[in-house]
Amino acid sequence: MNIIEIKKLNKTYRTGKVEFKALDDVSVTVERGEFVAIMGPSGSGKSTLMHLMGFLDSPDSGSYIINGRETSGLSDDEYAQLRSSVIGFVFQQFHLLARESTIENIELPLIYAGNTDSNGRGLKLLKDVGLSSKENNMPNELSGGERQRVAVSRALINDPDIILADEPTGNLDSKSQTEIMELLSNLNKNGKTVIVVTHDEEVSEYAARIIKIRDGKVVSDEKKIGKNYIAPKDLDVKKENEKSTAKPVITRIEFVDYIKQAYNSILGNKMRSILSMLGILIGVAAVIAMLGVGQGAKDSIAKSLSSLGSNLLTVIPGNFHMGGVSLGTATVTRFTEQDIEALEKLPDVKYVSGTVSGRAQVVFGGKNWNTSVQGVGVNYPVMRNSVPSYGAFFTDEDMRSRNRVCLLGQTVINNLFGDANPVGREIKINRIAFKVIGVLPLKGATGFRDQDDIIILPLSTAMYRLLGKIYIDSIDVQVKDMNLMDAAEDEITQVIRKKHRITNPDDTSFQIMNMAELQKTFAQTSEAMSLLLGFIAAISLLVGGIGIMNIMLVSVTERTREIGLRKAIGAKRKDILTQFLIEAVLMTFLGGVAGIILGGLIALLISVFAKWNVEVSAVAIIGVTLFSIAVGVVFGITPARKAAELSPIDALRYE
């Protein structure tokens, strides 16, 4: 029964305007279980015929029937299925993957056949060809004969019906040639159909039929029993037919095998892979470090702004600008305690506190420190989120009596008391004795200003006992509700104008700062800076992605013959596409992980040496990781498609 029927097959190759007819109306039939030698001089078309038999190339016209199935007009994936299940190739150049071990090379077709469980078949084949001790050897550790035996084992792993051998002994010495031909002869003896392309008369002695080709035509086809030919066992044709038609049409590759193949490829080209990942590594490290700095700055600003309190309006004398306070040439309104009392009566106002500020020399024991001193009202801790972390705040009685009591910031405590508890102790501020009654909560530093380097006193005490001021520097007003801020601001303006007899609507002798608006402005600025830093760093990622694409394109060129081999043993386009895509993603992922670690270290160094608050969030890490993977997908698509679209025979012939 015929396993192969070829009728009037034609194939013409074109190079520019030059045409070469490799096959001219070739018709051949091969029976199941035959050992056929196809012979002819170089350029006769014998290899072209074998490539068409193995679906490595496609004819221009003609009919090719295998196992009773017409193959003309099949899709690339269907040809790949036939190469995987029906055909087993043995190449003259061996075509073993240099980065795979012996057993991995043998079992490679299983992956593309969708059968990742070999059940020990690979090891059994190794034993059958006498290489059981070479399981983990790499191809460069094997002799030519051993490599060809590995190639034969690989051709048999999916139990194909037909073995196609293209000059299988062309690169071997006479001893290895004999071993390989005896191996093929034994396969034919056990029922395999073997077709050998050769120009060697000694090889043809193992065949029972010789087809000679010259100038693309079959010039002779004769039954000629070679002296080394061994007749095969009787075949149960029905059983063979059932077996061949029951081949599973499965080419799905397990994801873990994709990863493994990609990992081996990356390890096999360490320098190229490192260069590929370097751009992503730098980009991710920049993103992580920049986002960490930006988030740290944002949190620091938020923390500082929280100390300002919520729903807060601040009334100050003079004309205020975002760059600072400008008194200009206009008259400055001087605030008094009567202004505070008037503002406390407004319906939308919750708390009011006046403030006076100055600097003073503080002494305790043998230590002294120059610090900021503020006189405030009793509502200050609630309004400014400054409830003492230890001790108590002063009372209305302290205000009325101008008691010499104070609360210290942590920086002052560190410089005067060290680790000792300051509450209850007596210090001297500008040579005036004060009793410490509490410790202020930690506020942290903002730029060059340390918010913990401060002493808080009762407003009246600071004005009349310490700083000698008769006017209040500013007035803080806390509004009952955020929605009442604008109404309260109008009410405050009217009260101040009335008390100070200001009739000119354009008068700028006092200003009201809306701290909520200020907080919002700072928050928006911080957010914008974070986005800007992230965007700039993301550009590095895109540049890294372009580097990945370039390196992967080079990789496709370097590995063209490998791609041809994979297709020859059954890989579909989607298998090649997915493998190269996973390589790109794996490289970007590994580069991303390394970049996250490096970026974290950079952020840590910034926080240690620059004394800058840096915070690397889990969201940033996850986001950057996903982004780096997306970069791998986007920039890996083009090289992967290029690899997937290569013709098997063109790829195998690539030099």
- Tens of pLDDT along 566-585? 888 888 888 888 888 888 88
CA distance 599 to 620: 11
Q: What is the pLDDT of residue 276?
A: 74
Q: What is the mean pLDDT of the chain?
A: 83
Q: What is the pLDDT of residue 251?
A: 41
Using the predicted structure, report yes or no on whether residue 320 has a pLDDT greater than 90: no
Which residue has better confidence, 631 or 157?
Answer: 157
Phi and psi at residue 495, to the nearest 5°: -65, -45
Cα torsion at 356, 357, 358, 363 (round to 10°)?
Answer: 100
Q: What is the pLDDT of residue 84?
A: 87
* Strand extents, DSSP E, 331-446: 349-364, 367-376, 390-391, 405-408, 426-429, 432-439, 445-446
Long-range contacts of 218-223 (CB under 8 A, 24+ apart): 218/26, 218/27, 218/28, 221/28
Q: 7 falls in which pLDDT band (50, 70, 90)?
A: very high
Tell me the pLDDT band of 235, cut-offs 50, 70 and 90.
low
Q: Is pLDDT above 80 for 310?
A: no
Three-state SS sequence of 117-139: CCCCHHHHHHHHCCCHHHCCCCH
Rank 164-168, 525-529, 553-557, 627-631 by mean pLDDT and report only the highest. 164-168
64 strand-pairing partners: 6
CB 399 within 8 A of CB 353: no
Query: Is the model more confident about 202 or about 297?
Result: 202
At 220 the pLDDT is 92
pLDDT reported for residue 301: 64
- Both tokens of 532, joined, read 């800007």
Residue with tokens 């609360």: 407
528 burial type by CB count under 10 A (0-12 exposed, 13-18 middle, 19+ buried): exposed
What is the CATH architecture assignment of 1-86+162-170+182-245? 3-Layer(aba) Sandwich (3.40)
Mean per-residue pLDDT for 484-496? Answer: 90
Give the type of residue at 125. Answer: L
The pLDDT of residue 516 is 65
CA 96, 100, 105, 109 torsion-angle sign = negative
Compute the distance between CA of residue 333 and CA of residue 324 in angstroms, rounded to an integer: 17
Q: Is 431 left (phi over 0), alpha (psi -120 to 50) or beta?
A: left
- Which residues, including other chains, have CB under 8 Å from residue 414's CB and lie 6 or more apart? none
Q: Are 186 and 229 in contact (CB under 8 A)?
A: no
Q: What percentage of the chain reaches a pLDDT higher than 70?
A: 88
Share of the chain above pLDDT 90, in %: 32
Question: Which amino acid, 431?
Answer: R
Q: Over 70: is that where the pLDDT of 249 sits?
A: no
Determine the pLDDT at residue 4.
93
What is the residue whose two structure tokens read 């590095």?
A: 540
Residue 631: its pLDDT value, please?
80
For residues 640 and 53, the model is more confident at 53
Predicted pLDDT of residue 217? 93
- At residue 388, the pLDDT reads 94
Q: Is pLDDT above 80 for 236?
A: no
Query: Is the pLDDT assigned to residue 324 strictly greater than 90?
Result: no
- 234 vs 557 pLDDT, higher one: 557
The full set of domain ranges for the chain reads 1-86+162-170+182-245, 93-159, 261-303+521-652, 334-501
- Across the range 79-96, mean pLDDT stands at 88
At residue 614, φ and ψ (nearest 5 deg) are -125, 135
Angle made by CA atoms 464, 466, 470, in degrees to the nearest 5: 35
Main-chain dihedrals φ then ψ at residue 517, nearest 5 degrees: -65, -40
Banded pLDDT at 116 (limits 50, 70, 90): low
Across the range 71-81, mean pLDDT stands at: 87
What is the predicted pLDDT for the residue at 234? 58
Token pair in block for residue 450: 């340390």
Asked if the model's pLDDT at residue 424 lies above 70, the reply is: yes
Mean pLDDT over 303-315 rounds to 71
Q: Which of 162-176, 375-389, 594-608 has the highest mean pLDDT?
A: 375-389
Neighbours of 562 (CB within 10 A): 23
What is the pLDDT at residue 298? 66
Q: Of residues 209 and 603, which shows the higher confidence score?
A: 209
- Confirm if 56 and 652 have CB atoms less than 8 A apart: yes
Structure tokens at 229: 């030919």
Q: What is the Cα–Cα distance from 322 to 344, expressed in whole angstroms?
A: 27
Per-residue pLDDT, averaged over 390-400, amounts to 94
Q: From CA 628, how far away is CA 621, in angstroms rounded?
A: 11
Q: What is the mean pLDDT of residues 217-229?
A: 88
Residue 308 corresponds to which tokens in the numbers above?
A: 């300002």
- As a whole number, mean pLDDT of residues 9-15 equals 88
The three-class DSSP label of residue 3 is strand
Q: Which helix (H) or strand (E) holds 196?
A: strand 193-198
Q: Which residues, at least 6 apart from 545, have a Cβ–Cβ distance to it below 8 Å?
A: 279, 280, 588, 631, 632, 634, 635
In 101-234, where does DSSP find H-type helix? 102-112, 121-128, 144-156, 174-189, 201-204
- Residue 464, pLDDT > 60, answer yes
Read off φ and ψ for residue 556, nearest 5 degrees.
Answer: -60, -45
Residues 6+ apart with CB under 8 A from 453: 371, 372, 409, 411, 412
Q: For residues 338 and 559, is the Cβ–Cβ distance under 8 A?
A: no
Highest-confidence segment of 249-253, 310-314, 327-331: 310-314
Count the Cβ atoms, other than its own, within 10 Å of residue 339: 23
- Indicate if the pLDDT at residue 240 is higher than 60: no
Average of per-residue pLDDT across 218-223? 92
The pair of three-digit structure tokens given for residue 276, joined into one six-digit string: 């590929």
Residue of 652, 622, 630, 52 lying closest to 287 (CA atoms): 622
Residue 603 tokens, joined: 């952020």
Alpha-carbon gap, residue 607 to 613, rounded angstroms: 6
Which of 98-107, 233-242, 278-287 is predicted least confidently? 233-242
Cα–Cα distance measured from residue 371 to residue 365, given in angstroms and rounded to the nearest whole number: 16
Residue 523 pLDDT grade (very low, low, confident, very high; cuts 50, 70, 90) = low
Q: Which of 489, 491, 475, 480 is nearest to 517 (CA)?
A: 489
| Band of residue 321 on the pLDDT scale cut at 50, 70, 90 | very low
Retrieve residue 478's tokens. Answer: 């806390």
311 — pLDDT class (breaks 50, 70, 90): confident
Structure tokens at 605: 């160094």
pLDDT of residue 411: 94
Q: What is the mean predicted confidence (pLDDT) over 142-154?
A: 90
125-129, 324-328, 488-492 — which is least confidently predicted?
A: 324-328
Model-wide pTM > 0.85 = no
* Both tokens assigned to 97: 């993957």
For the cut 90, the answer to whether the pLDDT of residue 91 exceeds it is no
Helix (H, G, I), strand (E, B) or coil at 438: strand
Output DSSP code: residue 62: E
